[in-house]
Structure 1
Amino acid sequence: MPNTPAPTASALAPRYPVVVIGGGQAGLSTSHYLQAQGIDHVVFEKRRSFDAWRLDRWDTFCLVTPNWQCRLPDFPYAGPDPKGFMVKDEIVAYLEAFARKVRPPIHEGVGVTRLSRHPSGAFQVETTMGNCLADHVVVATGGYDLPIVPPCAHSLPAGIRQVHSVDYRNPDQLPPGGVLVVGSGQSGVQIMEDLHLAGRQVHLAVGSAPRSPRVYRGREATEWLFDLGFYQLTVDRHPLGDEARHKTNHYMTGRDGGHEIDLRRFALQGVKLYGTLDDIQGGTVHFRPDLGRNLDEADEVYCAIRRDIDKYIAAHGIQAPEEPPFEKVWAPEADPLTLDLAAQGITSIVWAIGFRPDYHWIDLPTFDGRGHPSFRRGVSPVEGLYFLGLPWLNTWGSGRFLGVAEDAQHLVEVIAQRQAARAPAPAPRLAETA
């Protein structure tokens, strides 16, 4: 793999109390708390730490949440713009500074190829550097392993350039001509805007992702939502329960100081909108008749957030400027069902329909019927196995800089308690003889 460092030279110990798999912000947060507890451990990272941020983002990528929400363990954002949005290089610099503070016992360039039970009862950890045993294993690899491309992509004409969002960098890497962006989650709408601002003709297949206001009634919506307790809501109290983990995040952007994204306004500016991708037959793309519904449902979530903020302001007697009611500035006359790529001059497609995790290397009974890991606040039913850094592991912030520290601290406390419970009782003192 390009940019993969050579494995650290030091040999592996035969057994570790804790093995952490993944050297990103989740894995290093775990290492921070393990060191604080005095628990010996090792971290395996198959690439370099933070290469997902360094190498797998487009050039204009920035956070969609404000900098004040960057709260890694004992390392909150301390820069000059807490209400701003760090761009890619600033994010990497923040994370690298965190790594220098933590100084984890990490082996970079070492991938874990299999995790299973050893006959002794410990975990068998097989890596590209060798094997070891572990009493506890924390899987902190995240959920963005395998880019999703629909099977019908194989039907596209050979001349159409296909790029997944993980490989998109800037408009200049795409051939001249129109671009179809498939997916309207965070990545899709931001790449759409990037292309649109560069003067490209953009076509966007709109899915079911909800949207959020950026600033409302004189204040960042994320600040209002923090005060409302939204970020403290745990998954076991969420109306959707575990299904919340599989829902798409609200789209907005931190670009150019942050702003909300209303796809209807982009339609007025010339972006062509379609419903959910349904099929591809040769040079014709087919869509479901759901564009109007998808736009309406995204707007309803947007308006519901505004109503919640309005209620909070009224209940607490807060003085805040009024806002005009939401109005639709554009609506499709009919849902377009087909798109002829050649006729519209489309030469490339950007797939922005997400990722799926890759847990094929975990040979343990910890997955549900859909292949997702089972856990309660990261603690697997397989004793000694833990997951960290996933969306809604406990709260909305669990997969983000905001909540990963709290989750990591909780898991390390569980590990420490289990270690203490297994420790042999001290031998009784013999009475001293006269």
Structure 2
Amino acid sequence: MILMDVFRRWSMGRREAKWFRMMNGGLPVFSQFGTNIYASDIVQNCINVIATEMSKLQPRHIRTSGNEQTIPNGNLNRLLRFGPNPLMTTSEFIEKQIWLLLMNYNAFIVPIFDSDFSSGVERRSYRGLYPINPSRVEFLQEPTGELLIRFHFPSGVDFTFRYADVIHLRKKFSVNELMGGGADGQPDNSALLRVLQTNYTLAQGLERAAKINAAIQGILKVNTVMDDEAQRAERDRFIKLVESGESGILPLDLKGDYTQLRGDAKFIDKDTLAFLQQSALNWFGVSLPILTGEFTDEQYQAFYEKALEPLVIYFTQKYSKVLFTERELDVGNEIAWYQRDMNYLSTSSKINLIKTMGEQGLLSDNQKLALMGYPPKPGGERITQSLNYIDVNLINQYQMQNKSKAVTSDNE
């Protein structure tokens, strides 16, 4: 209800617009979206790992002027820091859009803002950022050429916005002109689906083999001709003897022989199962140590560079392009996604980092404490530096002075 009231107030409503004309002649109407691969626990675990790590990002509005970067005070930084909308924290906001992007190959975030033109140029004041999950998306074009996007929801309501004002994240943006995924604007998971189907079939086979192996323990041969009812009675009598046996010795009369069966079910070799699992993990760029949390510094660095860093760069570009006007972009405004809380280093690596950067005078005492997981302390903004280093601009002067002293000493 909250979202509906917000969007109803800021939506452009039904506009006199035609469908956007696509190059391939198709209609720009796309339904949301395939979910068949997400019944797999492997897929859900992979997405959860990526979403959890990405939720540690700290987005900030920064302004760059020359070599100096500042963080302006304003409502946009407040939204990015504490919660982009009344329903979510920043971590939840990031996690939700990652899930939507990796599930649907398309994710939509609608910014709500006020525009002020009193100074002659547009200045925006943002009220909130809302990730949405529509059931259908339509691209429209006004007579002026402006592109619009209309979102339809399962409740039957729809809202229309300027496409330039919507943050549209796309995964595998290739053959479709407007949407991520395949030619129809939906996730193209056919290759992954075959691997998951094979893995599921083998798992089902393993389950049946285990049940059979555990269920049939032996054969009771009755050396008389009996009808079905008599056989069931004899079997029940045998089971009672087994259940009541306390000494391990089972008495049988002359008409019964029992042959024990040794369980020897043939299972799929572990290399085949590992290959199928790794094929699914590779689809998302997640290794098994990352999934289990037993990774080294190098393994996490590889995971970050392959699966996370492209998203960090993409988010920086996309959010900056949509949230700022051309004028604001020209004077150095952008949204930066800082990843300092993706703290993957081991204790020994942290100590080495503190030693190296601390000697260079690049870390304050509080920054060193934060790196080790300790709270800041009063006076912790002090920065110390080793005396074993010298400014590169003073090296020649220092060497010439030493040379002059050496010559003087020789003359003496």
Same fold (TM > 0.5): no
Q: Quick check: which one's helix share is greater?
A: 2
- Which TM-score bucket, shorter chain as reference? under 0.3
Q: TM-score, normalised by structure 2?
A: 0.24
- Structure with max Cα Rg: 2
